[in-house]
Amino acid sequence: MEGADSGFAASADGSQNQSPSPRKSPPSPTDHEEKTTHIKFLLSNAEAGSVIGKGGSTINDFQTQSGARIQLSRNFEFFPGTSDRIVMVSGLIDDVLKAVDLILSKLLDEFYVEEGGEDPRFKVRLVVPNGCCGGIIGKGGSIIKSLIEDSHAGIKISPLDNSYPGLYDRLVTVNGTLREQMRAIELILLKLAEDLHYVQSVSAPFPYPVVGYNGMNYASNGVGGKFQNARSQNKQEERSNSVTIGVADEHIGLVVGRGGRNIFEISQLSGARIKISERGDFMSGTSDRKVTITGTQRAIRAAEAMISRKVSPVSER
């Protein structure tokens, strides 16, 4: 979630002067079919901590109140290209909406409300599969226009970021007061619930390879690598193994890449899990960082070859 910026449309005609709406208005009971669904959106680490609460007390309370299940990605698992974690809420449509309202209401109180101030406008970014965005946009933008007119919220869909292999989700940014946001989210969720592809897309809160490092695990995390399911000629080839190689400390950045992009790609294409030792943790008797590769023999060989190609041009100078 973020505070609103002035360049973001708040309604179909771009007007920012909507009549004040009362805060904390949870979705009223509706005639929604008893369908199970899910919704994902982004939270900063601080916001995620607020939602979890001490010892998980807040998230447990929200689940009890709403009847929905609330899951968060781990504290180093960020949506690609951001430093934000992913929260996934799943259950019956009305339960999901109630849980989202509880979450956004708490964050609004803790991070956005100024005492005596007007009802603030802020952003929430939903994570939606690229293939489902057409159902929100509609022919010639007809559906998204009607959603904006109905909710009075600003709704903006980001283009698909092709710079991250394996990323097939887009961000749908909803901007407005809490009441406007909740109405927009309800309308969007009802559209998505009609899409069979969306219903089948439910997975763990974090289905992307990890893109951080310093001892973190670069696992494919459910996104199949090129060789992950390849059948080998014998069981030994399929057995999971682990190999540790050394990479010069000054070259480790070439393996990781900007924002973790290179190691993301290596893990994705090879199907191997890759772990880089922390700064100062070297191979015995060297100044080489430890790079541990785990997977089938074929996946390990593929990852080693890709790493070698990254560092060999500078190593030979």
Q: CB-based burial of residue 246 (10 Å sphere; 0-12 exposed, 13-18 middle, 19+ buried)? A: middle
Residue 41 lies in a domain: yes
| pLDDT higher than 70, residue 59 | yes
Q: CB-based burial of residue 238 (10 Å sphere; 0-12 exposed, 13-18 middle, 19+ buried)? A: middle
20 vs 146: which has the higher pLDDT = 146
Task: Residue 112: give its domain's CATH number.
Answer: 3.30.310.210
pLDDT classification of 308: cutoffs 50, 70, 90:
confident
181-194 confidence digits (pLDDT tens)? 999 999 999 999 88
Residues 156 and 232 in one domain: no
Residues 15 and 132 in one domain: yes
Residue 53 lies in a domain: yes
Residue 210 lies in a domain: no
Residue 263 lies in a domain: yes
Residue 184 lies in a domain: yes
Lowest average pLDDT, out of 43-47, 218-222, 297-301, goes to 218-222
Q: For residue 286, which of 298, 277, 275 has the smallest C-alpha distance?
A: 277
Whole-number Cα distances in Å, 198 to 29, 183, 288:
23, 20, 45
* Residue-range definition of the domain harbouring residue 82: 2-200
Residues 150 and 271 in one domain: no
Where a domain ends, among 200, 232, 260? 200
Residues 157 and 226 in one domain: no
> Which DSSP state fits 22?
-
Q: CB-based burial of residue 301 (10 Å sphere; 0-12 exposed, 13-18 middle, 19+ buried)? A: middle
Residues 113 and 192 in one domain: yes
Where a domain ends, among 170, 200, 230? 200
Tokens 């289905």 label which residue? 207
HSE (CB half, 13 Å, CA atoms) of 272? Answer: 27
Residue 150 lies in a domain: yes
Q: In whole angstroms, what is the distance from residue 155 CA to residue 299 CA? A: 42
Q: How many domains does the chain have?
A: 2
pLDDT at 50 (0 to 100): 93
Residues 159 and 263 in one domain: no
- Alpha carbon dihedral 252, 274, 161, 13, in 10-degree steps, equals -100
Task: Residue 289: give its domain's CATH number.
Answer: 3.30.1370.10
Residues 241 and 160 in one domain: no
Average pLDDT over residues 237-263: 82
pLDDT classification of 98: cutoffs 50, 70, 90:
very high
Where a domain ends, among 148, 165, 200? 200
Whole-number Cα distances in Å, 108 to 9, 128, 181:
20, 23, 12
Average pLDDT over residues 158-171: 81
pLDDT at 207 (0 to 100): 64
Residues 196 and 237 in one domain: no
pLDDT classification of 196: cutoffs 50, 70, 90:
confident
Residues 154 and 273 in one domain: no
Residues 96 and 14 in one domain: yes
Average pLDDT over residues 261-287: 84
> Which DSSP state fits 159?
P
Residues 244 and 192 in one domain: no
| pLDDT higher than 60, residue 289 | yes
104-134 confidence digits (pLDDT tens)? 999 998 887 765 567 788 999 999 999 999 9
Q: In whole angstroms, what is the distance from residue 202 CA to residue 91 CA? A: 11
Number of other CB atoms surrounding residue 18 within 10 Å: 16
pLDDT classification of 148: cutoffs 50, 70, 90:
very high
Residues 141 and 226 in one domain: no
- Mean pLDDT (the chain, rounded): 78
Q: In whole angstroms, what is the distance from residue 298 CA to residue 271 CA? A: 9
pLDDT at 12 (0 to 100): 38
Residue 105 lies in a domain: yes
Residue 14 lies in a domain: yes
